[in-house]
Amino acid sequence: MPTKELVYNERQARDLEAEISQIAQALSSDQTLKSIIDGLPELAIEGIRRSLTTDKRELTKKLEAFRQAQAGNTEAMKEQAGTDLGDILIVARLAQNWKQKDLARKLGLQEQAIQRWESERYRNINLANFMKVARALSVEFSAKFHSSEVSKWLAPVDINPVEIQKVLKHARSHGWLDEGDSDDNDGTKRLIRYVSEHVLRYGTPSLLRTGLNVKDHAEDWALLSWKAQITRRAERIIESERPSYRPLELSWLKELVHLSEKGDGPLLAQALLKAHGVLLLIERNIPGMEVDGAAFIVDDIPVIGLTLRRDALDNFWFTLMHEVAHVILHYRTGLAAGFFDDVESAELDDLEKEANKFAADLLVPEEVWSRSPARIAKVSKPIENLAKQLGIAPAIIYGRIRLERKNFAIFSDKIGQGSVRKLFLPEVANG
């Protein structure tokens, strides 16, 4: 359960208590923790331990807020709810000391209706029913009309026309828009509506945590358009397949790394991640958008988006593991807002540095790398031997050497150039 979501019934509270207990057991018992992280490098283990400590603290805050609300003090839950209208209604119910069945009875409805509405945070309720619930709970809403970040995305006059044409061309060529169109004006309106709906639900660029230096709103538009498309695809998968992510299940990490040895490793990685509740989606970057990968949450499910703008095995595996690091380390401390990464950027904050270290150590443990002759090798044999020892693709080590030496002229034929896009993109495979 991501941090931003409220606990609003006793069943959720019991589930949260069980999760907190599991985390506490893992942190206090070396045996329990070993079952979660067995075989992982030391630096990765330290990162996971820090993440679990943070998880326990944040989940405890959430549980305590619910228990306080049950006792008549809703201040902590009000703070958690913020300005989310659906959450405000849930807090109002708790402030009345009503269970879901009490609200249902007040409205002359079945309890299941309230359960469904609250599970959806009242996002799919019509306005008439929303107002009925608000009146039953003695909640009054007021509105102010002013210039906001959201409004920038609601009117085409506020969007750079050159930029939106670039995005529209990309959207058409990559099948983003459901209906065929030949009219630019109609296509523009539909694209703006599509992105605006995303903004209203998930926020604006100013609210997104990003590792990129966004220079202007035109670049924001491209980035957000891309994210909106990834999100829409993820929503469809989540709705049809109902995946489940369990933060304490990490046994798949070692297997994920070893998949890099296989020719179809990227495809196998996508399947493995999905089996453990993490969606990996490939979506080509819009021209000019400097993004290698992203990680964020859609309906409680971690989603990783990759652009494959650098079509090489070394970049694929490091970018993937970097985003996986965000999922594991920052599930409750940033993933809801999102991470958008240029993995070769020199400007990194603490969370990005942490993800880089985690990814690098998972692929090539520091205690091994620091002693390996491959680190200073000028020929292939020590590198190939180390890759075999670690059970990873040699391209990963060649890529690390190129980066550390800041010499991208060496080993350029060893990084698996041109071998990834064709696995995921039909137009490349058939081209």
Alpha-carbon gap, residue 366 to 255, rounded angstroms:
19
Of 303, 317, 323, 315, the C-alpha closest to 211 is 323
DSSP for 176-197 reads -SSS----HHHHHHHHHHHHHH
Question: What are the residue ranges spanned by the domains of the chain?
Answer: 10-136, 150-425
DSSP for 293-317 reads EEEEEETTEEEEEE---S--HHHHH
pLDDT at 28: 84
Length of the chain: 431
DSSP for 47-67 reads HHHHHHHHHHHHHHHHHHHHH
Alpha-carbon gap, residue 42 to 22, rounded angstroms:
22
CA-angle at 355, arms to 353 and 356, nearest 5°: 65
pLDDT at 259: 97
One digit per residue, pLDDT tens: the chain, 431 residues?
454 578 888 898 999 999 999 889 888 877 677 667 777 787 788 888 888 898 899 899 999 999 998 888 989 988 888 888 888 999 999 888 899 999 999 999 999 999 999 988 888 899 999 999 999 999 887 655 444 444 444 444 456 778 888 888 998 888 887 665 556 677 788 888 888 888 777 765 444 555 555 444 445 788 888 999 999 999 999 999 999 998 888 889 999 999 999 999 999 999 999 999 999 999 999 988 889 999 999 988 999 999 999 999 999 999 999 999 999 999 888 888 888 888 777 667 788 888 999 999 999 999 999 999 999 999 999 999 999 999 999 999 999 999 999 999 999 999 999 999 999 987 766 55
Alpha-carbon gap, residue 75 to 271, rounded angstroms:
43
Whether the Cβ atoms of residue 287 and residue 317 lie closer than 8 Å to each other = no
Tokens 């690091």 belong to 325
Q: In the numeric block, which tokens belong to residue 415?
A: 């990084």
pLDDT at 4: 56
Alpha-carbon gap, residue 390 to 74, rounded angstroms:
52
Q: Is the dihedral of CA 193, 194, 199, 201 positive or negative?
A: positive
Whether the Cβ atoms of residue 177 and residue 171 lie closer than 8 Å to each other = yes
The one-letter amino acid at 38 = D
Whether the Cβ atoms of residue 296 and residue 337 lie closer than 8 Å to each other = yes
pLDDT at 3: 47
Alpha-carbon gap, residue 115 to 100, rounded angstroms:
7
- Other Cβ atoms within 10 Å of 303 Cβ, number: 26
